[in-house]
């Protein structure tokens, strides 16, 4: 264990989270309307992540980018991961797929089971049998994902031939069919073009084609539409959902946009400073967040139905420095409900039915109302953040 001493309470919390999360993402009701699982052992979830940690050694010390994340993902289901820049959402998806560099400077811990097989310490050789055919990734920027000097058809063919023993002609045929199924007009002609000849939306379709070329069971989509316009974003997300339903794939959708994950994911993980701060069925979490951070994030998002020039509630301050996380709750310095306890004691991920949150004073509870009242009467939180009535008025 190379964990620094001050991290030890957190790792206990992570453990605490294990039992919570395994249950939360695999609601029994979901299996009923889904077709039979395509292979795999019965009763074993497709992807099981337990107390997963990724640390990077930097010149200034150890940075724990992902700290004790647990969830399970079934076939045909989608889990959304949201958080601000630096919250660890991208590192999480990349290190689950073992796309982080293999070196002494990267430390991964925990359990990652794909169909029952622990792949945390799998060799690159073993991973080659998993990448593309079982787990594939769609990245944010389609321009940098695709090789600029190779025809797009060839890039898909390359992926297919790397993993399957088929002739060039056969691979080519399935590449064109795939492009067609991704609704790329004149697919055969397009296959002979270079990425620079395509629009951003078309390029992202091609990147999806490359990812889907070998029929993966899980697709990790890391901000797949952030670089695109809203209309194109809607098309790409629809397309991913269609392909997912058709192939009964599982999907991990990483986004900073709460609107994107809403309605497109079954379960949601909200990350803050490397930790899961809230987790549960997407609609439940977004309709009635328990974690003050999720609540604040929702409030600070401009909505179409809000009146013009309305002041948006903001989240004061900045995410904590990953080299020196605060000893208590990592969100406490920015939280409007923070009490003395939040500054000294790290809240565990607490289970509540099919959801979980990391807060001593969860939104909607009596404790929360009392904490809000205390802070209002003293005009500040325990961390010294000014609390005005204006802030409270908005939260009602």
Give the interface with another protein as residue ranges (CB under 8 A).
Answer: 84-85, 183, 185, 199-202, 229-235, 237-238, 256-260, 262-264, 283, 286, 296-298, 300-316, 318
Closest separation in Å from C-beta 384 to another protein: 15
- Pick the closer one to another protein by CB: 17 or 319: 319
- Pick the closer one to another protein by CB: 62 or 232: 232
Distance CA 284, CA 288 (A): 6
- Pick the closer one to another protein by CB: 234 or 369: 234
Distances 42 to 28, 31, 36, 66, 115 between C-alpha atoms, Å: 14, 12, 10, 30, 10
Nearest to 31 by CA among 77, 72, 70: 77
Closest separation in Å from C-beta 335 to another protein: 12
- DSSP one-letter string for 211-251: HHTT--SEEEEESTTTTS-HHHHHHHHHHHHHHHHHHT-EE
Q: Which segments of the chain are extended strands (E)?
A: 47-58, 61-73, 78-82, 106-114, 117-118, 135-138, 218-222, 250-255, 267-272, 275-281, 350-352, 355-357
275-281 and 267-272 strand pairing: antiparallel
- Pick the closer one to another protein by CB: 234 or 245: 234
Closest separation in Å from C-beta 129 to another protein: 36
Closest separation in Å from C-beta 93 to another protein: 18
DSSP state of 200: H
Closest separation in Å from C-beta 278 to another protein: 14
Closest separation in Å from C-beta 148 to another protein: 19
- Pick the closer one to another protein by CB: 31 or 316: 316
- Pick the closer one to another protein by CB: 98 or 334: 334
Closest separation in Å from C-beta 306 to another protein: 6
Distances 132 to 85, 138, 296, 306, 392 between C-alpha atoms, Å: 27, 11, 37, 43, 49
Distance CA 342, CA 358 (A): 11
- Pick the closer one to another protein by CB: 20 or 291: 291
């Amino acid at each position: 264990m190379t964990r620094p001493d001050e991290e030890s309470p957190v790792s206990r919390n992570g453990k605490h989270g294990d039992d919570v999360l395994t249950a939360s993402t695999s609601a029994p009701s979901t299996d009923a309307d889904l077709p039979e699982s395509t292979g795999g052992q019965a009763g074993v979830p497709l992807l099981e992540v337990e107390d997963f940690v990724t640390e990077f050694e930097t010149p200034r010390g150890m940075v724990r980018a992902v700290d004790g994340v647990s969830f399970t993902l079934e076939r045909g289901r989608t889990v959304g991961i949201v958080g601000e820049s630096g919250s660890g959402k991208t590192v999480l998806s990349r290190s689950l797929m073992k796309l982080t560099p293999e070196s002494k400077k990267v430390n991964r811990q925990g359990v990652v089971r794909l169909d029952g097989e622990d792949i945390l310490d799998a060799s690159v050789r073993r991973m080659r049998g998993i990448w593309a055919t079982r787990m594939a990734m769609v990245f944010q920027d389609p321009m940098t994902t695709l090789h600029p000097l190779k025809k797009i058809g060839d890039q898909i063919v390359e992926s297919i031939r790397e993993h399957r023993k088929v002739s060039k002609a056969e691979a080519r045929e399935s590449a064109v069919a795939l492009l067609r199924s991704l609704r790329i007009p004149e697919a055969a002609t397009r296959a002979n073009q270079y990425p620079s000849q395509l629009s951003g939306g078309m390029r992202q379709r091609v990147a999806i084609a490359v990812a889907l070329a070998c029929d993966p069971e899980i697709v990790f989509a890391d901000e797949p539409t952030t670089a695109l316009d809203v209309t194109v974003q809607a098309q790409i997300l629809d397309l991913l959902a269609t392909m997912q339903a058709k192939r009964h794939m599982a999907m991990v959708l990483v986004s900073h946009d709460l609107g994107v994950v809403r309605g497109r994911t079954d379960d949601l993980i909200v990350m803050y400073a490397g930790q899961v701060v809230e987790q549960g069925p997407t609609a439940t979490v977004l309709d009635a967040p328990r974690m003050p951070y999720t609540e604040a994030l929702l409030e600070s998002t401009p909505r179409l139905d809000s009146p013009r020039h309305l002041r948006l509630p903001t989240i004061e301050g900045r995410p904590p420095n990953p080299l020196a996380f605060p000893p208590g709750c990592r969100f406490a310095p920015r939280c409007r409900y923070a009490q003395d306890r939040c500054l000294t004691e790290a809240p565990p991920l607490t289970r509540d039915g099919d959801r979980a949150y990391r807060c001593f004073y969860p939104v909607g509870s009596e404790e929360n109302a009392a904490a809000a009242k205390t802070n209002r009467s003293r005009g500040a939180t325990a961390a010294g953040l000014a609390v005005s009535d204006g802030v409270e008025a908005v939260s009602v």
